[in-house]
Structure 1
Amino acid sequence: MPKLVYDFAEGNKEMLELLGGKGANLAEMTNLGLPVPPGFTITAEACRAYLATGSVPPELADEIDHHVDALQQRMGKKLGQADDPLLVSVRSGAAVSMPGMMETVLNVGLNDDSVNGLAHQSGNPRFAWDAYRRLVQMFGKTVLDMDGDIFEDAIEAAKAAKGTRNDLDLDADDLKALVDTFKKAVHDATGREFPQDPRTQMDLAIEAVFRSWNADRAVLYRRQERIPTDLGTAVNICSMVFGNLGMDSGTGVAFTRDPATGQSGVYGDYLQNAQGEDVVAGIRNTVPLADLEQLDKTSYDDLMAIMAKLEGHYRDLCDIEFTVERGKLWMLQTRVGKRTAAAAFRIATSLVDEGVIDTDEALKRVKGAQLAQLMFPRFDADADKERITKAIGASPGAATGKVVFTSAGAVEAAEKGEKVILVRRETNPDDLHGMIAAQGILTSRGGKTSHAAVVARGMGKTCVCGAEELDVNVAQGLIKVNGTVIEAGQTISIDGTTGEVFKGEVPVVPSPVVQYFEGSLAPDAGDELVASVHRLITHADEVRRLGVRTNADTADDAARARRFGAAGIGLCRTEHMFLGERRESVERLILADNDAEREAALAELEPLQRDDFLELLAAMDGLPVTIRLIDPPLHEFLPSMEELAVKVALARERGQEPGHDAALLTAVERLHEENPMLGLRGVRLGLVIPGLFAMQVRAIASAAVELKRQGKDPRPEIMIPLVGAVQELHLARDEVEAVLAEVGVEWSIPIGTMIELPRAAVIADQIAEAADFFSFGTNDLTQTTWGFSRDDVEGAFFSRYLEKGIFAVSPFESIDREGVGALVRTGAERGRATKPDLKLGICGEHGGDPDSIQFFHEVGLDYVSCSPFRIPVARLEAGRSALD
Structure 2
Amino acid sequence: MPKLVYDFTEGNKDLKDLLGGKGANLAEMTNLGLPVPPGFTITSEACRAYMDDGSVPAEEIGTHLEKLEAAMGKKLGDPDDPLLVSVRSGAKFSMPGMMETVLNIGLNDRSVQGLVRQAGDERFAWDSYRRLIQMFGKTVMDIDGDLFEQAIDELKDGRTDLDLTAADFRSLVGTYKEIVRREKGRDFPEDPKEQMELAIKAVFDSWNAPRAILYRRQERIPSDLGTAVNVVAMVFGNLGMDSGTGVAFTRDPATGHQGVYGDYLQNAQGEDVVAGIRNTVPLQDLQEIDPHSYAELMEIMAKLEGHYRDLCDIEFTIERGKLWMLQTRVGKRTAGAAFCIATQLVEEGLIDLDEAVRRVTGDQLAQLMFPRFADDHGNTVLTRGMNASPGAAVGRAVFSSARAAELAAQGQDVILVRRETTPDDLAGMIAARGVLTSRGGKTSHAAVVARGMGKTCVCGAEEIEVDAKAGRFTVGDVVVEEGDVISIDGGTGCVYLGEVPVVASPVVEYFEGNPSGDELVRAVDTIMRHADGRRRLDVRANADTPDDAARARRFGASGIGLCRTEHMFLGDRRVLIEDLILAETAEERQAALDALEPLQKADFAGLFAAMNGLPVTIRLIDPPLHEFLPDIIDLSVKVATGKGTKKDRRLLEAVQRLHEQNPMLGLRGVRLGLVVPGLFAMQVRAIAEAAKAAEGARPEIMIPLVGAVQELESVREEARQILAEVGVEALIGTMIEVPRAALTAGQIAEAAEFFSFGTNDLTQMTWGFSRDDVESAFFGTYLDKGIFGVSPFESLDRDGVGRLMKVAVVEGRKARPGLKLGICGEHGGDPASVRFCHEIGLDYVSCSPFRVPVARLEAGRAALL
TM-score under structure 1 length normalisation: 0.97
Distance 1:165 1:259 in 2: 34
2:154 maps to 1:171: no
1:159 maps to 156
Q: Deviations over 1:394-415 (max 9, x none)?
A: 0000001110000111011101
Distance 2:823 2:610 in 1: 22
- Which of the numbers 682, 701, 711 marks the counterpart of 1:728? 711
1:648-659 to 2 correspondence within 5 Å? 648-649=639-640, 651-652=641-642, 658-659=645-646
- Which of the numbers 631, 656, 660 marks the counterpart of 1:669? 656
1:457-856 to 2 correspondence within 5 Å? 457-521=451-515, 525-649=516-640, 651-652=641-642, 658-707=645-694, 712-745=695-728, 748-856=729-837
Distance 1:344 1:165 in 2: 41
1:79 maps to 76
Is the contact made by 2:20 and 2:91 (CA closer than 8 Å) also made in structure 1? Answer: yes
Q: Deviations over 1:34-90 (max 9, x none)?
A: 00000000000111111122x124xx0100110111111111111111011100000
Which AA in structure 2 matches 1:584? V
Is the contact made by 2:79 and 2:110 (CA closer than 8 Å) also made in structure 1? Answer: yes
> Partner of 2:700: helix, strand, or coil?
strand
Which AA in structure 1 matches 2:683? Q
1:104 maps to 101
1:268 maps to 262
> Partner of 1:612: helix, strand, or coil?
helix
Q: Deviations over 1:816-874 (max 9, x none)?
A: 11110111111011111011111100000100000011100000000000000000000
TM-fit CA distance, 1:477: 1.8
Distance 2:330 2:608 in 1: 47
2:133 maps to 136
TM-fit CA distance, 1:657: 5.6
Which AA in structure 1 matches 2:704? P
TM-fit CA distance, 1:443: 0.2
2:415 maps to 1:421: yes
TM-fit CA distance, 1:593: 1.4
CA RMSD between the two structures? 0.9
TM-fit CA distance, 1:616: 0.9
Distance 1:95 1:837 in 2: 43
Is the contact made by 2:638 and 2:644 (CA closer than 8 Å) also made in structure 1? Answer: no
2:25 maps to 25
Distance 1:564 1:793 in 2: 33
1:222 maps to 216
TM-fit CA distance, 1:227: 0.5
- The range that moved more, 511-520 or 673-682, is 673-682
Distance 1:834 1:244 in 2: 73
> Partner of 2:271: helix, strand, or coil?
helix
Is the contact made by 1:648 and 1:662 (CA closer than 8 Å) also made in structure 2? Answer: yes
TM-fit CA distance, 1:184: 0.5
> Partner of 2:315: helix, strand, or coil?
strand
> Partner of 1:818: helix, strand, or coil?
coil
TM-fit CA distance, 1:642: 2.2
Which AA in structure 1 matches 2:527? L
Is the contact made by 2:19 and 2:43 (CA closer than 8 Å) also made in structure 1? Answer: yes
Distance 1:207 1:480 in 2: 43
Is the contact made by 1:269 and 1:279 (CA closer than 8 Å) also made in structure 2? Answer: yes
1:125 maps to 122
TM-fit CA distance, 1:353: 0.2
1:170-209 to 2 correspondence within 5 Å? 170-209=164-203
TM-fit CA distance, 1:672: 1.4
Is the contact made by 1:388 and 1:482 (CA closer than 8 Å) also made in structure 2? Answer: no
Which AA in structure 2 matches 1:691? G
Is the contact made by 1:590 and 1:634 (CA closer than 8 Å) also made in structure 2? Answer: no
Is the contact made by 1:755 and 1:774 (CA closer than 8 Å) also made in structure 2? Answer: yes
TM-fit CA distance, 1:475: 2.3
Which AA in structure 1 matches 2:2? P
Is the contact made by 2:103 and 2:270 (CA closer than 8 Å) also made in structure 1? Answer: no
Which runs of no fewer than 5 residues in structure 1 stay unpaired? none
Distance 2:107 2:190 in 1: 8
1:307 maps to 301
Distance 1:495 1:595 in 2: 63
2:205 maps to 211
Q: Deviations over 1:694-718 (max 9, x none)?
A: 01011111111122xxxx2111110
Is the contact made by 1:83 and 1:114 (CA closer than 8 Å) also made in structure 2? Answer: yes
Distance 1:804 1:460 in 2: 25
TM-fit CA distance, 1:283: 1.1
1:456 maps to 450
Q: Deviations over 1:89-131 (max 9, x none)?
A: 0000000000000000000000010011101211111100000
Distance 2:639 2:210 in 1: 53
TM-fit CA distance, 1:756: 0.7
Is the contact made by 2:336 and 2:368 (CA closer than 8 Å) also made in structure 1? Answer: yes
Distance 1:671 1:32 in 2: 75
TM-fit CA distance, 1:487: 1.2
Distance 1:193 1:565 in 2: 67
When the two structures are aligned, how many residues end up with a matched partner?
865
Which AA in structure 2 matches 1:183? K
TM-fit CA distance, 1:730: 0.7
CA change 1:657–1:231 in 2 (3 A) is closer
Distance 1:114 1:659 in 2: 96
- The range that moved more, 715-724 or 736-745, is 736-745
Which AA in structure 2 matches 1:705? K
2:315 maps to 321
> Partner of 1:329: helix, strand, or coil?
strand
Q: Deviations over 1:718-761 (max 9, x none)?
A: 0001111111111110010111122232xx21000001111111
2:87 maps to 90
Distance 1:137 1:643 in 2: 65
Distance 1:668 1:876 in 2: 47
Distance 1:641 1:119 in 2: 84
- The range that moved more, 243-252 or 486-495, is 486-495
Is the contact made by 1:23 and 1:41 (CA closer than 8 Å) also made in structure 2? Answer: yes
- The percent identity for this pair of structures is 72
1:857 maps to 838
Distance 1:331 1:857 in 2: 42
Structure 1 runs (4+) deviating above 6 angstroms are none
TM-fit CA distance, 1:680: 1.2
Q: Deviations over 1:180-206 (max 9, x none)?
A: 010000011100000000000001001
> Partner of 1:276: helix, strand, or coil?
coil
Is the contact made by 1:848 and 1:870 (CA closer than 8 Å) also made in structure 2? Answer: yes
TM-fit CA distance, 1:658: 5.0
Distance 1:664 1:311 in 2: 72
Which AA in structure 2 matches 1:736? A
Which AA in structure 2 matches 1:30? T
Which AA in structure 2 matches 1:148? G
Which AA in structure 1 matches 2:760? N
Distance 1:669 1:41 in 2: 70
1:358-437 to 2 correspondence within 5 Å? 358-437=352-431
